[in-house]
Amino acid sequence: MGNATLLTEFVLTGLPHPAQWEVPLFFVFLVMYLITIMGNFGLITLICKDPHLHIPMYLFLSSLAFVDTWVSSTVSPKILVTLLSHSIKISLSECLTQFFSFAVSATTECFLLTAMAYDRYVAICRPLLYPVIMTNRLCSWLIILSFVGGFLHALIHEIFLLRLNFCNSNIIHHFYCDIMPLLKISCSDPSINFLLVFILAGSIQVVTMMTVLVSYTCIILTILQGKSFKGIKKAFSTCGAHLLSVSLYYGPLLFMYVRPASPKADDQDMMDSLFYTVIIPVLNPVIYSLRNKQVKDSVIRALKVNT
């Protein structure tokens, strides 16, 4: 270690793909990124402008749309540049900044999805108390705490990453700077970092996912107790979009960070990462727009006003 040269620049290898797919993949990811930006900011604008949507459920949804845009903007530009140049150099400071931005946004999304599940639980299981419990003030605090929790979680990992040295290899087998690929190429002992990932990231994912599952178990039991088919249909349509979004998000995220690290799992890790950093931010505005009657009604009202 005394004679080792410490590395301050890395190379992102990007997604594994055949050479002839570079241009088509570039345009696919470019279109997906543009749809993500337009779809999520369109949803945020719609919620801000329509007074009918100024309720907790849609305040959470606008925050989720913002975080989805944040996640995608942290990762997608690097993918596009890597596809054009085959690989991309990135400094240590830029790498740590990208990881921090990703960690804040990804963790915040976990907390927001949990808050949205609690909101649906109160709305369906405690409908008479909903205006008293789920006030805009409580909603604002839940959103703020989600971002604070995401920031603190990312900060802890960032501080422990700063104690590591990199001197063996500067090749990061990923399309962005995530913590696991960085730990694999560190020439310092990363045991504490691996433990923190397993404990902190694993605990956040398991606890938030269990909270969502308990909330939706109570919701389903309450729905099935109702005798009105119309009421059951309305409840499922209200919760369906969020439940689908949660299912898509937690699957690859939980699988990637809670399973034991494996040096042979780089390609699988990249596919999992691609799903929740690129694909889900594209799907969420579509899911919430197509499966939510109030959002569709708001779009129709906005179109009528503009015409």
Q: If you average pLDDT over each of 59-68, 84-93, 265-274, which comes out highest? A: 59-68
Q: What is the mean pLDDT of residues 160-164?
A: 91
pLDDT, residue 298, reads 73
CB 200 within 8 A of CB 103: no
Q: Give which of 20, 62, 64 is closest to 43, Cα–Cα.
A: 62
Residue 156 banded pLDDT, cuts 50, 70, 90:
very high
> Is residue 77 a part of any domain in this protein?
yes
Q: What is the mean pLDDT of residues 140-164?
A: 95
* pLDDT of 33 above 60: yes
CB 175 within 8 A of CB 78: yes
> Is residue 3 a part of any domain in this protein?
no
* pLDDT of 265 above 60: no
3-state secondary structure of 190: coil
How much helix, strand and coil, in percent to the nearest 5, is found in the chain? 80, 5, 20
pLDDT, residue 233, reads 66
Chain mean pLDDT for the chain: 83
Q: What is the mean pLDDT of residues 250-264?
A: 57
> Is residue 2 a part of any domain in this protein?
no
Residue 138 banded pLDDT, cuts 50, 70, 90:
very high
Question: What percent of the chain has a predicted confidence (pLDDT) above 90?
Answer: 34
Tell me phi and psi for residue 199, to 5 degrees.
-75, -55
CB 14 within 8 A of CB 77: no
* Higher-scoring residue by pLDDT: 291, 81: 81
Task: Enter the pTM of the model.
Answer: 0.88
**What CATH number does the domain containing 230 carry?**
1.20.1070.10
Q: What is the mean pLDDT of residues 250-275?
A: 64
Digit-coded pLDDT (tens) for 65-93: 999 999 999 999 988 888 887 667 888 88
Q: What is the mean pLDDT of residues 96-117?
A: 94
3-state secondary structure 204-249: HHHHHHHHHHHHHHHHHHHHHHCCCHHHHHHHHHHHHHHHHHHHHH
Residue 234 banded pLDDT, cuts 50, 70, 90:
low
C-alpha distances in angstroms, 45 versus 56, 63, 140?
A: 16, 12, 18
Can you give the residue range of the structural domain that contains 295? Answer: 9-306
pLDDT, residue 75, reads 93
Task: Report which DSSP code applies to 5.
Answer: P
Domain total of the chain: 1
> Is residue 107 a part of any domain in this protein?
yes
> Is residue 289 a part of any domain in this protein?
yes
